[in-house]
Amino acid sequence: MAFQILLNVFLGFMWMFLTGSYEPVAFLKGYLFGLLIIFTFRRFFDSRFYLLRVVAVINLLFIFIKELILANIGVLKVLLKPKLDMRPGIFAYPTVLKEDWEIMVLSNLITLTPGTLVVDVSPDNKILYIHAIDIEDAKETIDSIKNTFEKAIMEVSR
């Protein structure tokens, strides 16, 4: 991915030298034409066309912000109830992610999800131990983690 971006910047400079105008607009124009060239020759690269990955990262950022707001509403609901009748507990969640940074992003996302907080990661990076504020909802939480977060992170790293 980094190689494709570097190549695109190089093509932008190339355009500036070819036209002879050294302004930001010329660079931007060259960058866009370079994007088109890289898209045309995408089958010669090892990884995917890099704009798809940029879109996936932006998608992940929006999931982060949405979960943060939902988490705050969830905490508000628990706190402002007249009786403390939640049932907290720690459950194990096996993850399919392998890389260190993927586990880091996943556990940050889980910590910002409504009602869950990562307490420990097993040494072999296979199991996350999550403290849930209401263990009854934990089953749904596991499903939603599987469907949204892990898929979104895999979309970035693929």
Partner 1 sequence: MNEIANIAIIVLIIIGAFLSLVAAYGVIRLPDIYTRNHAASKSATLGVMSILLGTLLFFYVKDGFFNSRVLLGIVFIFMTSPVAGHLIARAAYNSGVKLWDQSVQDDLKNAPHMKKSASKDQ
Number of residues in contact with partner 1 under rule CB under 8 A: 34
Count how many residues are written for the chain: 158
Nearer to partner 1, 47 or 72 (CB): 72
Establish if 59 lies at the interface with partner 1 (CB under 8 A). Answer: no
- CA 32, 37, 38 angle in degrees (round to 5)? 95
Contact status, residue 131 vs residue 117, Cβ threshold 8 Å: yes
Residues 62-91 that bind partner 1 (CB under 8 A): 64, 68-69, 71-72, 75-76, 78-80, 84, 86-91
- Max CA distance (Å), the chain: 73
Check: CB of residue 71 under 8 Å from CB of residue 78. Answer: no
Task: List contacts with partner 1 (CB under 8 A).
Answer: 64, 68-69, 71-72, 75-76, 78-80, 84, 86-92, 107-108, 111-112, 115, 117-120, 122-123, 127, 129, 131, 133, 135
